[in-house]
A and B are shown apart, each in its own frame.
Chain A
Amino acid sequence: MRFVDEFRDPELGQALAREILSLVEPGRHYKLMEVCGGHTHSIYKYGVDDLLPANVELVHGPGCPVCVIPMGRVDDAIAVAQQDGVIFTCFGDMMRVPGSDRSLLEAKASGADIRVVYSPLDALRIAKQNPEREVVFFAIGFETTAPSTALTLKRARAENVKNFSCLCSHVTIVPPLRALLESPDLRLDGFIGPGHVSTVVGARPFEFIPADYGKPIAIAGFEPLDILQAISMVLRQIAEGRCEVENQYKRVVPYEGNLRALELMAEVFDLRPHFEWRGLGFISHSGLKLSAAYAELDAELRFSVPGVRVADPKACQCGEVLKGVIKPWECKVFGTACTPERPIGTCMVSSEGACAAYYNFGRFAREREVV
């Protein structure tokens, strides 16, 4: 396939694997976190970890916005969706995320008008096609997705679409990374940085990782060779005693990010004082809400939203998986009570969730032999 084959070339992959092997010290264990769910998916889809020495361990981070949505927030969404006259719109993967009582998919089966959209613009289109109904868009995602929501809100205001609003659950990437770095039960040697979040925010926001915590990071693309090269870059930094932000994904990510997107986000959103993350608890300044200028489009102000915190199911160890403390297959319910068809935890819902990635690509349990 044009443009793609060169990023999946087996010989180049083997060469990178040899380079990685040459960079690691025998007897030393390296723990690298890939922040982004897209990387987790690619790693297991292409078997990237099979090319790594056994003493290089990849830990799967919290970069899946579906996986980090707490149950109480799903309950809020369902409460809005069930109100009279509402058409509730969301991305597909949110449909199966369990709330305390049911998922959006089950609420839809019970009669709520819930529709899957591919973009916020689709939701706005539904609003314009149904002026007698209230159309709510459930906005989730990191800084990659937030500009898309912001543009749609701006368009809704410019076009005076009164029956459109947004239940904003956007999150930001830096606060959870800082929380992980502060976590006493997790010792990491470096990071594979998120590719498309960085398209928007740039590489600069990650400078605190080497500056404050002394850990190297390489922002990576999503093809197998991208990931292998980023791993090699991080290991080379460690080997050479360097510690900085490197950008493997220069063909897409500018160091300063997309300034227009950042300005737009600053106009449309404000930081929440705190936001709850599944498994990570409340993290300060980690969630976005609509700014005062866009309050008229805020579904939390337009509708009654319970806002009740709900504890995660006891059997579910998503929190430990999200922090990289355990591997998915070490969870008590992985692949038995919790499967992609009937998920208990969010990590099994999204195909980018670490548990679903392990399950779908047959990684039920595995330990690599030490070389």
Chain B
Amino acid sequence: MSAGASADREFASRHCITCGDDGEPMTVVAVDRERGLALCSSDDGLRATVETALVEPVIAGERLLVHAGTAIARLAPGSGAVAR
């Protein structure tokens, strides 16, 4: 996701990243193990590059809790409701 697109998204969501202690459940689409990054998809289909160093190793299809572009936790299957 480009910085511009993600900024638009943040304004559209009407809540901020840091204040909300916000986390977004995302699904891993593809993994770039060498760079410690993964392409992830949110439940509403938006895709973003995510840092995965804190939860590695990750595999495609896994569910992650993403905050400010970084995966901070691995989610058990079915535990979707973590954010607003």
Contact = CB atoms under 8 A, between A and B. Distances in A.
A120 interface: yes
Interface in A137-163: 140-142, 144-145, 147-148, 151-152, 155
A252 B68 contact: no
Interface residues of A, number: 65
Contacts of B22: 38, 196
A324 interface: no
A223 interface: yes
A224 to B, nearest CB: 10
B29 interface: no
B80 interface: yes
A144 B21 CA distance: 7
Residue from A64, A118, A350 with most neighbouring chain B CB atoms (10 Å): A118
A294 interface: no
Interface string B57-75: 0000000010111101101
Contact of A252 (B6, B65, B70): B65
B33 interface: no
Contacts of A223: 81, 84
Interface in A62-105: 63-67, 89, 91-93
A260 B65 CA distance: 15
B78 interface: yes
Interface stretch (A1-9, A266-274, A280-288, A362-370): A1-9
A89 B75 CA distance: 30
Given A64-B19, A91-B17, A122-B6, A151 B81 contact: no
